[in-house]
Amino acid sequence: MRTTLLSIFLVALTVSAHASSEWSRKYNEDKPVASERDYILRIFDFYTQIQQKFKRERFSAQSRDLVEDYTTAILLPACVSCSKMLRRGHDTGLLLAYFRLLQHTQHSASESFGGHLADIFAANPDLVESVYRRLSPEQQRIGFSELSWGFGNLTYGQKRTRTIKRLEQRLTRMTPKAK
């Protein structure tokens, strides 16, 4: 049942996405998704577009419903997959896309975005630090805020091991410069 609803939702989004000129110029809908990574990047990109539409429509109820449904049914599962891929890989492009996505999740009540970033950081801090240095100051501010929040949740109630202390030090060094 859930798979059927998700399929229907994806078809509806694809049809509405095709109508969007930016989407149709960027993606050839006749070309199949090449990989899980490609699928995740398309999900992130489409979320950005519906979030921008939400703002253009002055946070209308209809757009809000679309953003919330898309977030729950499609975006958050894609973030889980992204996190799994980045914890064990070194895909700077995918992590950069995740950091860009965070700019558009600021109105979301979900704490998952920071949690996934913290999971990636805990497993692969070198990757997070290297991509973080390439971000704009605004992206760093948002990314650091999400990462700090997520890391705090991840380590809450845990014994402060040597590993956690080292990660805390690395996180502190990432603090964005004041404006």
Answer yes or no: is pLDDT of 20 > 80. no
Determine, yes or no, domain membership for 75.
yes
Determine, yes or no, domain membership for 178.
no
Determine, yes or no, domain membership for 16.
no
Q: Find all residues with CB under 8 Å of 76, minimum gap 6, and list them.
A: 110, 112
Residue 29 has what pLDDT?
64
Residue 142 has what pLDDT?
96
Q: Find all residues with CB under 8 Å of 154, minimum gap 6, and list them.
A: 115, 118, 119, 122
Determine, yes or no, domain membership for 19.
no
Which structural domain range is residue 113 located in? 24-173
Cα–Cα distance measured from residue 169 to residue 163, given in angstroms and rounded to the nearest whole number: 10
Residue 4 has what pLDDT?
43
Determine, yes or no, domain membership for 52.
yes
Residue 18 has what pLDDT?
47
Mean pLDDT value across residues 21-39: 70
Q: Is the pTM of this model over 0.85?
A: no
| Whole-number percent of the chain with pLDDT over 70 | 82
Residue 177 has what pLDDT?
84
Cα–Cα distance measured from residue 6 to residue 10, given in angstroms and rounded to the nearest whole number: 6
Residue of 15 and 96 predicted with greater confidence: 96
At 2, is the pLDDT very low, low, confident or very high (cuts 50, 70, 90)?
very low
Determine, yes or no, domain membership for 11.
no
What radius of gyration, in Å, describes the C-alpha atoms of the chain? 17
Mean pLDDT value across residues 3-16: 46
Mutual orientation of helices 162-173 and 125-132 as an angle, nearest 10°? 10
Q: What is the end-to-end Cα distance of the chain in Å, rounded?
A: 50
Determine, yes or no, domain membership for 7.
no
Q: Find all residues with CB under 8 Å of 147, minimum gap 6, and list them.
A: 114, 117, 118, 121, 128, 171, 174
**Tens-place pLDDT, residues 129-176:** 999 999 999 999 999 999 999 999 999 999 999 999 999 999 999 999
Residue 35 has what pLDDT?
93
Cα–Cα distance measured from residue 45 to residue 123, given in angstroms and rounded to the nearest whole number: 25
Determine, yes or no, domain membership for 2.
no
Residue 6 has what pLDDT?
45
Q: How many domains does the chain have?
A: 1
At 61, is the pLDDT very low, low, confident or very high (cuts 50, 70, 90)?
confident
Q: Find all residues with CB under 8 Å of 164, minimum gap 6, and list them.
A: 155, 158
